[in-house]
Amino acid sequence: MAKTKRGKGLWNTLSRGRGTCPICLATRIKLLYSATNSEGKLVTVCKKCSLVDAKIVDKAVSTVNLGFRGKLRRELNQQKQSV
Ligand SMILES: [Zn+2]
């Protein structure tokens, strides 16, 4: 069985398979797992978040404008707490 989540194969994927997880906001983490929200929409998440339930996936934020900067992440965390 091919290893789809480790090794050289990842180097060809977008950002080498890494990015910011939309749920736990971990940066530079492998986003190779998918979670489904209550609407049945697939969200690409990290390994930890692949096991969470749909209600938590609903709270996933867009990481498109997030980048990898700590400052943006801090702001987002504050937003998250106020929800
Ligand atoms: Zn995560």
Q: Where are the domains of the chain?
A: 3-82
Query: Which pLDDT value is given to residue 5?
Result: 87
Distance CA 38, CA 29 (A): 24
User: What is the reported pTM?
Assistant: 0.71
Question: 47 CA distance to ligand 1 centroid (A)?
Answer: 7
Which one, of 40, 36, 62, 63, lies nearest residue 51 by Cα? 36
Per-residue pLDDT of the chain (83 residues; tens, 9 = 90+): 678 888 888 888 888 888 888 888 888 899 999 899 888 888 899 999 898 888 888 887 777 666 556 666 677 677 766 65
The amino acid at residue 21 is: C
User: Which single residue is written with the structure tokens 């997030």?
Assistant: 66
Question: 1 CA distance to ligand 1 centroid (A)?
Answer: 25
Query: Which pLDDT value is given to residue 46?
Result: 93
Question: 80 CA distance to ligand 1 centroid (A)?
Answer: 14
Question: 2 CA distance to ligand 1 centroid (A)?
Answer: 24
